[in-house]
Every structure is written in C-alpha cells, then in structure tokens.
Chains A and B, each alone.
Chain A
Amino acid sequence: MRLSSLRGMGYAAPIALLTIIPLLVVLSSFLHPQPEVWAHLSEYVLPDVIKNTLILIVGVGLGVLLLGVPLAWLTAVCEFPGRLFFSWALMLPLAMPAYVLAFVQVGLLDFTGPVQTLIRELTGDSSWFPRIRSTGGVIMVLSLAFYPYVYLLARNAFLTQGKRALEAAQMLGLSRAQGFWQVALPMARPWLIGGLTLALMETLADFGTVSIFNFDTFTTAIYKSWFALFNLPAASQLASILVLFVLVLVALEYWARGARLYHGRIVAAERIRLQGAYRWLAIALCSTVLLIAFIIPLIQLLLWVKTIWQDDFDARYIGFTLRSMLISLFAALIVAAFALLLVFIQRRFASTGTRWVVRLATLGYAVPGSVLAVGVFLPIAWLDNLLIPIANSMGFATFQILKGSVAVMLLALAARFMAVAFQPMESAMQRISRNQEDAARSLGLSQRQLLWRLHLPLLRGGVLTAVLMCFVDVMKEMPITLMTRPFGWDTLAVRVFEMTSEGMWANAALPSLMIVITGLIPVVLLVLKSED
C-alpha cells in the first residue's frame, strides 16, 4: 500500500512539476522580505481587498450555482419547447471573455449608457437606476461569465446519473422536488464542486473584469505591488497567499467529501415533461441568461466591428486566427492528455499522497496570469542561460533556445489550465465503480487494458468537455501567451490586449468577435458528439 502510494506520487510528479516549479518560483519571493510594502498594504490596502474578495467568492459561488445547476437540470432531465437548442446555446457564453462581457454590460447600464440615457430623456431622472459599477454588478457579470463551467459539468452529472436512482426515490415516496434535492443533487456533487472550483479559481485570478468595475480584490493588490510599487517580490508573496487559500479550500472539500461514492449507470431515461407555467418559466430562464450573457454582448461587438472593420480588418487576421486555433487546439490536447494521466494515476494508486500531488498540479489556474507567466519564464530563461554558452561554443550564434519556442509556450499553458481539463474528467471517473473494474478484470483485462478499454470509453463525455473548455480558455488567455510566444506569433488574444491596453474597445471588438466565433467551433463539435 505504501509502495503503491509512492509509485502514484512518483508517476504524477513529472506532470505536477509543470505547475510546481513556477509555484516554487513564486514562493521563493519569501526569501526577500518586503517589510516596508507589507506595512503599507496591511494598513491601507489589504483589509478592504480581503473583505471584497470574500464577498466576491461567496457571491459568484452562489451565482454560478444558481444559474448553472437549474439550467443544467432543465436541459438534461426535463423536456420543454426549445430544450435541444438551449442545451447547446447555453454553452456559448463560455466563448465570451469575461472582461468583454463586463465592458459591454457596464457600457450599456452605466450613467452614460443607452439605457439610463433613454430613461433620462423620458423622465428627466435616472438617479434611481441601480448602479452597475457596484458589488452587485461585478458579482452579476462574473456569475454570467463563469456559470458555463458549472452548467457543463452539472449537465454531465445529470445526464450520466440515469433515472434509476430517481425512480427508486419516487417509489420510496419522495416527491419530484424531494428527489431533486435529496438524490439528484447529492449524486452530482463532484461535478458541482468541480465546476464551482473552476469558477472560483478564475474569479480569484481575474484582473481584467474587476478593473472595469474598479472593484479592488486581492489580485488588484498583487498587481498594485508589482506595476505601481515596482515590487515583484511583494506581489509574488501575495500571490503565494492566494494559492495557499485555494489549497485550504481544496483540503476542506476533500475532507468534507470523505469516502462517499458516486457510481451510477447510464440508463436512457424518459425526460420529465414540463407542463403549463413551468414550461414558460423554463423558456424564460434559459432565454434571459442566453440574452444577457451572450446575445446582447455579441450584438454590441457586431455594432462596434461595423464601425471599424474597414480600417482594421486585413489579411493579418487570417494569421492571428490560425495561430489562435493552432495554439488552442494543441494546448487543449496536451493539457487534456496530462490531465487524463493524472486521473488514471489517481484511480490506480489511490492514496492521500497521490491525491495531493495531483491537486498541486491543478493550482496554476488560481494564480493571477501575469504572476504565473513570470514563474514560468524565470526557470526557462535560467535554463537558457545555461545552455546558450554551450550552443555558442558549438558554433551556433543564438541567444534563445527554449524561450520563444512553441513547445515551451504549450507547456506553460498546460501549467495554467490543468485544472480546467482535470475537473470534468475526475468527476466522470467517479461514475465508474470498483465493481465494473472487478468485472472487467475477471474477464482477463490487464491494468493497462482496463484504462484503455473500460475507463477511457466511459470517460468520453468528461474528456470532450475538458478539451472544449481548455480550447476556449486558451483562446481567451493573455498573460502567458504574451510572455512566452515566439516573435511574430501574435494571436487574437494578443490583438485584444493591444487594443484594450489603450482603451480602444471598439477596435478590440474585432479580435474579440473572432475569438467568440472560433470558440464556437468546439461547442458545435461537442454538441454533434454529445449523448443526446
């Protein structure tokens, strides 16, 4: 048992190192204490940002669950007019970068936006209108941007849960509502926690969206220390604390989950047919979310693009788009392959030690992007500085070997997005019972065959979700792409950065729109391949 645990840790470690090394670089900042900056921050900055961050986590956490779970339940288990359409359309907001959604919604609903302007023209006063640049506003926008994580995973859970358990519950006298609360929801727990984890990690690491609201979070303090006080060590120290906080959350969840099992068998189930008012309620909920989180921002992007495309759109966009797709595709495949290995290793060598090594591998998602980018870049530059003299002595006049190579860029992206690939696959793995494994083994399958012939086919839904989410996330990613891209490898996200860094939002609409459109491709693929 001990040996198996050590082997599990040993197998998981090389993949985990991708994330652990940059995290160690970030942690090493504690070798250079910054008492002066800390004194200032802890007196004037930290109390506020810690309070704000906690409020944001609770708010966005509730928000994504309240949106994601009902929408997933409706489209996975119920039947109502338009269900098939909504079941894939509700994934679309995943392709809309959160900062774009934020900018559009603030633009529409702020004092100078068309809504309040119209109100003022009609009634002369719009001061009663709720302020969008407020705590409620930022929670609303982040929830709308990140609910697809919960939606996608919860949908997987509900689809694979089968109806047996629900039928059993009803035979035992539980009502439909009781069945939902007491059977379906608890059985979907790993998926919900998985989706919630992704949404919250992204919320913690977010900088772009909260800055549009001028809502100061812990990450704001990190960037303030770095970009305004020019103190990268202090920024890294703050980032380490953020990672530690996430680790504590993960540990709490692990402890709370205990030894519960979530096995189930997929049985084609009769859908619950919604009747009367419930039908309309379902349609109203789905359309409202789709409208606010996707269609309205999309229309705004189109309107902006209409004003600038004649000046901005040129042949270079073919290159931007192709590179974006290429990088996103390869990064998604690599990170999905690594995550799959982690899931297998965790299953095969189940132990607390293995679990923790695997958990460490997924922490890159909670670190603010630019900080992780530096953590990735420093060791690469260090290695390069070792290798370059050797290369030079062999007659190669070069000053970059690893840095500025596509391979390093892909590995860096893998370090960032491991969690996104891991969560859906890990939850899917929980549906496979030890009984199934025993049965397969008694049929003479070896350990390796078990993985290929039992696990992989059963994990298909989880793997597809993982690849889709990673593809779209890499497409939107900026800091690591900026830091590690080779010369000339500008992507759509790099274009968005160029435009937004000087506040040229109308111009940023063009690359943003291309990201959304390109991001739709995997969604459509997923729909074509998905179970229903």
Chain B
Amino acid sequence: MMKKFALSALALSLLAGFAQAETVTVYSSRNEQLIKPLFDAYTKETGIEVKVLTDKEGPLMARLQAEGANTPADMLITVDAGNLWQASNMGLLKAVNSKTLTDNIPAHLRDARNQWFGLSVRARTMIYNPSLIKGEQLSNYEDLADPKFKGKLCLRTSKKVYNQSLVAMMIAQQGEPKTEKIVRGWVDNLATDVFPDDTKLIEAVAAGQCAVGVVNTYYFGRILDKLPADKRAAYPVKLFWANQKTNGTHVNISGAGVTRYAKNEAGAVKLMEWLSSEKAQNLYADKDMEFPANPKVKADVLVSSWGPFKQNLINMSKAGELQGAAVKLMDRAGYK
C-alpha cells in the first residue's frame, strides 16, 4: 500500500516535471502582438510551448513579488532597462551564465551581474521638419536647451519612461546640476504643451507646429511604413542622429531575465538564447522597427536606411539606478 502510494507520487511528480519541461511561462509587458509570432516560431521549431501573460510592468513586478516561490513565471520580458533594473533590484530575477547570451548581446545592453539581457535596441533621437530648420543646425540633446530653439521644440511628457531614461543617462554622464539646467532650457523652448505619445509628436513636427522633437525611431518607422514607398521621401519629417560628435545617441532596450523562482530555468535560458540568436533577432526587432541587440544582425531595410549611428555605450543599468533622480529633476524643472 505504502509502496504503491510512493510509486504513484513519484509518477505524479515525474509527470509534473515532464509537463514543465515542455512549457516556458513568460510574464511580459512587451505587447502580445510583438512577441507572439516569435514564440509561435519557437514552438514550431522546438515543440516547446510558451505561455504568455501580459500586463503593465508595475503590476507584473508586484505580482511576481507577491507570488514569491510559487510563481508560475519562468521569464520576465519588459521594455526599458529601468524596469529590468528595478526587477533585479527587487530580487525578482536570477543570474544566468550563458556564453551564448554574453556573446550575442553587447556588454552595455546587459546587466553586469547577468540578471537581464537586452533583446532589441530602441534609439531615442531627434526628428525635424526640413522646411523649418536645417539638419546642420542640429547637434546634441543638450543643444536643444539653447535659446535659438525657443518656440521650436516639441517633447513628449516626462511621465514616459523613455524620457526618464534619457535624462537619467544625462545625469550619469554630466551630473545633476548641468542636466537640470538643460532640462529647464528644453521647457523654456517648448512650442506647445508636451505630447502624450511619440506618434502625435511626429505628426506635430510634420504639420509645422514645431521644428524639432525627440522620439523613439520606431514610431517614425511605423509612420513611414504606412506610406507608399514613393511618398516616404516627401514626408516632411527627417531623422537626425543626435550626439554623433560627442557621446552617441541615447539607446534603450527591451529585454528579458529569468525569474528567481523559475520552475523551468533551463527552458527559460534556452528560450532567451534563442531570442538572441541571429534567426530570431530579425523577427524580434523588425516586427516593431527596432534595432536588433545582436550586432551581427542587420536591421530592417527601412530602419537601415537611416544610416549607421554611434550609440551611447553607457551601461543600461544607469537608467534604472538614476530613474528616480531623473523624475524628481524633471518635476523640479517644471517638465510636465
């Protein structure tokens, strides 16, 4: 009787173990429609099922923390390095030792303790309306604070994490006092109220409401992508790579980490390695007109047409470390 019980318990646990090995469970704040095609491809290739649950970063992290050791999640995917840094800081992730990942992902796009890895690069740079301003008049983010841009600048709200990261990186490299002066200069130069999203901002530049703005390139890519190929050149907005003569254009990532209490750690690592591989990187980045994190992989044709650019090589962790300071600085400077 006892033996039978023990045997069936063993069988059950084996079964459970078997079932787990066949699925990887992912919590993601990256949109379902951007990651689902990848996971479908992964399942097709390996037979391993990927279960996804999406939500905003904040609630996802609160959820992981509350679930503790009993979380079903093996992997966390978020956009913005600040969020990954925070997840790591809250003890929600665990270090992954994978040569594949460290080979595929450049050092500045991953955590120094290997708790998270960037999977796509999102560049935040300038766009301008060529009928209102010449490309040669543009140079650095810092320069946009100059009074010569008075009434010409459009910005998105400081509540968006992309701007918080941009300012955090400026704090990291130039210190708070100087950064605060720059941000105040931006606010003084605004042509109109800050925008709720990048797309609206690009449309405002196109309509001539302002001459120059700062956006993530994929929003621009999405607009161009919707236009017929022969109309793209005539679109009254051009892209300018910021800070090419200084520290490089600000980049951020979307990325992933293995959860601390992953039930299928090996499966999660394998999935992450696959996502960083050459065949998956195009699918991952091109779906949203982002740049692949793996430097061996070329970006989408439209994205490549903006030319090569120098990235700011400061480690992404700074975005998380200094995010709070950046938010407070922007509050002080009156950047809404």
Contact = CB atoms under 8 A, between A and B. Distances in A.
Given A44-B328, A381-B67, A230 B86 contact: yes
A478 to B, nearest CB: 9
Interface stretch (A86-94, A267-275, A370-378): A370-378
Contacts of A501: 29, 31, 56
B72 interface: yes
B62 A374 contact: yes
Contacts of A182: none
Interface stretch (A211-219, A254-262, A336-344, A423-431): A211-219
A216 B161 CA distance: 16
A441 to B, nearest CB: 50
Given A224-B327, A228-B323, A482 B54 contact: yes
B295 interface: no
Contacts of A230: 86, 323-324
Contacts of A490: 32
Nearest to B192: A111
Question: Which of A44, A111, A400, A403: most chain B Cβ within 10 A?
Answer: A111
Nearest to A220: B159
A445 to B, nearest CB: 49
Nearest to B73: A399
A377 B66 contact: yes
A487 B12 CA distance: 23
A227 B209 CA distance: 30
B336 interface: yes
A45 B86 CA distance: 23
Interface string A497-511: 111011111010000
A385 interface: yes
Contacts of B63: 377, 381, 483
A110 interface: yes
A388 interface: yes
A142 to B, nearest CB: 15
B195 interface: yes
B127 to A, nearest CB: 14
Contact of B54 (A110, A211, A373, A494): A494
A228 B159 contact: yes
A498 B159 contact: no
A227 B69 CA distance: 24
B97 interface: no
Contacts of B197: 503
Contacts of A498: 31-33, 54
A119 interface: no
A505 B196 CA distance: 12
Interface secondary structure of A, over-half rule: helix
A112 B199 contact: no
B62 A377 contact: yes
A479 B328 CA distance: 26
B193 interface: yes
Nearest to A110: B200
A228 B68 contact: no
A40 interface: yes
Interface string B43-87: 000000001011111110011001111111000000000000010
Interface in A477-532: 479, 482-483, 485, 487-488, 490, 494, 497-499, 501-505, 507
Interface in A379-399: 381-382, 384-385, 388, 395-397, 399
A227 B331 CA distance: 15
B294 interface: no
B198 interface: yes
A199 interface: no
Interface string A292-325: 0000000000000000000000000000000000
A226 interface: yes
A198 B336 CA distance: 29
Contact of A214 (B8, B71, B195): B195
B164 A228 contact: yes
A110 B192 CA distance: 11
Question: Which of A40, A227, A374, A378: most chain B Cβ within 10 A?
Answer: A227
A397 B19 CA distance: 10
Contacts of B102: none
A226 B59 CA distance: 9
A507 B58 CA distance: 24
B12 A385 contact: no
Interface string A185-211: 000000000000000000000000001
A111 B328 contact: no
B263 interface: yes
A229 B31 contact: no
Interface string A145-167: 00000000000000000000000
Interface in B295-336: 323-324, 327-328, 331-332, 336
B264 to A, nearest CB: 12
A456 to B, nearest CB: 39
Contacts of B86: 230
Nearest to A490: B32
A104 to B, nearest CB: 13
B125 to A, nearest CB: 17
A287 interface: no
A483 B31 contact: no
Interface string A215-258: 01000100110111110100000000000000000000000000
Nearest to A131: B193
Question: Which of A224, A485, A501, A502: most chain B Cβ within 10 A?
Answer: A502
A108 to B, nearest CB: 13
A111 B203 CA distance: 9
B219 interface: yes
Nearest to A481: B55
Contacts of B159: 211, 214, 220, 223-224, 228
A228 B31 contact: no
B16 A397 contact: yes
A213 B196 CA distance: 7
B132 interface: no
B285 interface: no
Given A111-B192, A483-B59, A503-B197, A228 B66 contact: no
A492 to B, nearest CB: 13
Contact of A229 (B66, B69, B194, B324): B324
B168 to A, nearest CB: 11
Contacts of B222: 504
A503 B68 CA distance: 32
Please name the 9 residue pairs, one residue from A and one from B, whose CB atoms are nearest each other, closest first.
A397-B16, A381-B66, A44-B331, A399-B70, A503-B197, A482-B55, A112-B203, A112-B207, A228-B327
15 contacts: A44-B328, A111-B209, A133-B193, A213-B196, A229-B328, A385-B70, A395-B8, A399-B263, A400-B70, A482-B56, A487-B72, A498-B32, A498-B33, A503-B199, A503-B219
Given A395-B9, A400-B72, 13 more contacts: A111-B192, A213-B196, A214-B157, A227-B58, A229-B328, A232-B62, A397-B17, A487-B25, A490-B32, A498-B31, A499-B31, A501-B31, A504-B222
